[in-house]
Structure 1
Amino acid sequence: MNTYAQPAAYQSLPGGPLDADRSFYDRLAAAGRTLTQEFEIPVRSGQAWEVPAGSVVRISSVEGPQVGDLNMWSRQNPRERFWASRTRQLQRASMTTYDRFWSTLPYLRPMATVIADSLAEHPDTEVIHDLLGTRCDPYVNRMLAGYDFDHHCHSNLTRAVQPYGLTEFDVHDVLNVFQFAGLNENREYFMDSCPARPAAEGRQADHFEFFAEIDLLCALSTCPGGDLSVHMWGPEAASTQEQLEHCHPLRVEVFSVEEQVLLSWESPAPAAYQGKDGRNGLRPVPHARASS
């Protein structure tokens, strides 16, 4: 596969919004913390939960390798939500420590920042925690496989957010946590075996942590493909029962952190762009009347 030497298209000046204060996030990752929420998401399921700004969320492997599909909204205003494609442009095609989750227009601000990634030193780190792909869904499954299956990530996320007044239309492109994926030599999207491992003697479970920059509603699905070591579609596809053998739960923990660490931190404001009329966001342009 070709690699290119061109610099990134989206850049900021040193100390700008794309240049995270690594010393602050390092202190945050090492600071004392108090567990405020903890739960496990069963296989082929999903759950939504609220995260106050200034909290840390940890997603970790429990019994074996498992991919999780993550959605994120502003708790007060779900029209503001994670913008995977812009995050891919501003950060990279996969996420790791110090990368930020950026929100949709007209808000365009960091919703969260990655502060710990146990797979950051993995030899294939550039294709882990994938932003290129999106959630699996029952519509593409019907198209490719010819049958209905209602435990895809889109389905799981939809059910998870319904108690919060959201619907299928609010589910959006995801971060594929722990997913090993990228482009092959033909520039086709591929997925391979998830490298995340549970805790063992002398070693913590693989985990992915982010810091909530604003009040969040998060939702996570345990992918029905499990560790993605078997094909979900095509001539070599495993049955849904065979895929189930590769599925494991994921653990979610939410922590409050020492107030002292947050003294220098402020929740980011929405984008400063005010438009020609001085409002945040664009005012609709009236349509010209058609002449009779």
Structure 2
Amino acid sequence: MKPSHPDHAAPPDANARKALAPVICYPVETLPRPDLATYRAARAGWTRTTTVLVPPRHARCFTVPAGHFFRITSVDGPQVGDLNLWNANNLAERFYSGKTRALHGTHLSSGDRMWTSHPHLRPMATITDDTLDWYGFDAFGGAVHDVIGTRCDPYTHNLLSHGGQYHHCCHSNLTRALAHERGLSLPEAETHVHDVLNVFMCTGFTRDTGQYFMKASPVRPGDYLEFFAEIDLLGALSACPGGDCSSEHSSDAAACYPLQIEVFAPVAPPQGWMSPAPNGYDRSHGL
């Protein structure tokens, strides 16, 4: 964290340096924006094909064919979830939270996309509906559905608890779920688990120390986050052991609830939709 009492005196032009205007790193005006009306129109007459209930403090995998929708829904009580997505046909192509954050910001909502890792870098899922879009940013700088946190994991827990062994962290939950789904050993599966979309989690950064914070999620039963699969997807969702993250995570004490995943097949894909091709960069890297 930033020191409250720096070791070095400010230079004479400190205020001028601080007053320089910021520049957006990745202007997205040239990115094609998804036509949400077209996506949502494709929901008419859709058929639910799969329902998966994720137990508290555990994770489950699910598959979504390209051109289908899926929803993550709060069903019994306020609960956050950690979401991993992969190309169902190639686990090396997976959700790239850092680039998604750079393109869309710290928190995602309707119209934002989840992007895949290099060298593919293409949309893998588009958020088509978000019942918590009313929340925006609160007075603390908190917002919902972040791509700034990583995932609670047993290694950080071990470090901060001076040797504790806790196995229901989202990292371990996702590892177990993927190992079971794909018949992998735990060490093999763990290499594919990656930074997440924190579904329903309310987070931000403190202004004074720049520390990542969480607060009670505004999610309530019936709230959902809906996605459209741009490519064939394998997903894994962990019902975080922190419950609504109002006090702590990696905990057996927090009240936790299940999360529901539903997959829907539309009668036809959105009008004019085509699954995106991998990124067009030629990979010559200047040689």
- Which residue of structure 1 aligns with residue 253 of structure 2? 242
1:1-292 equivalences under 5 Å are 6=22, 8-14=24-30, 16-17=31-32, 19-28=33-42, 30-124=43-137, 127-146=143-162, 147-162=164-179, 163-164=181-182, 165=184, 167-186=189-208, 187-198=210-221, 205-232=222-249, 240-243=251-254, 246-259=255-268, 261-276=269-284
Counterpart-to-counterpart distance in 2, 1:13 and 1:250: 35
CA displacement 1:246-291 (0-9 Å, x = unmatched): 21100110000121x4341100000011134xxxxx69x8xxxxxx
After TM superposition, give the deviation of residue 54 of structure 1 in Å.
Answer: 0.6
Question: Is 1:137–1:155's contact at 8 Å kept on the other side of the alignment?
Answer: yes
C-alpha contact (below 8 Å) 2:52/2:60 kept by paired residues: no
Separation (CA, whole Å) in 2 of partners of 1:118 and 1:262: 21
Provide closer, same or farther for how the CA distance between residues 257 and 107 of structure 1 changes in structure 2, counting only shifts above 3 A: same
CA 1:232–1:12 in structure 2 vs 1: closer, same or farther (change >3 Å)?
Answer: closer
Deviations 1:190-209 (A, max 9, x none): 000011101xxxxxx00000
1:9 Cα shift? 2.1
Deviation at 1:151, TM superposition (A): 0.4
1:27 Cα deviation from its structure 2 partner: 2.3
> Does structure 1 retain, via aligned residues, the 8 Å contact 2:26–2:103?
yes
Distance across 2 between alignment mates of 1:158 and 1:36 = 25
Amino acid at match of 1:134: T
Counterpart code for 1:273: Y
When the two chains are superposed, the root-mean-square deviation of aligned CA atoms in Å is 2.1
Letter in 1 for 2:72: I
TM-score (norm: length of structure 2): 0.85
Q: Is the 8 A contact 1:100 1:113 kept in 2?
A: yes
* Superposed displacement of residue 13, structure 1: 4.1
Distance 1:183 1:12, change over 3 A: closer
Partners of 2:136 and 2:143 within 8 A in 1: no
Q: One-letter code of the match for 1:248? A: Y
d(CA) in 1 for partners of 2:23, 2:41:
30
Alpha-carbon distance in structure 1 between the residues aligned to 2:227 and 2:101: 17
Query: What's the CA shift for 1:5?
Result: 7.0
Contiguous gaps of at least 5 residues in structure 2 = 1-17
Contact 1:25 1:98 in 2 (8 A): no
Whether contact under 8 Å (2:67, 2:231) holds in the other structure is yes
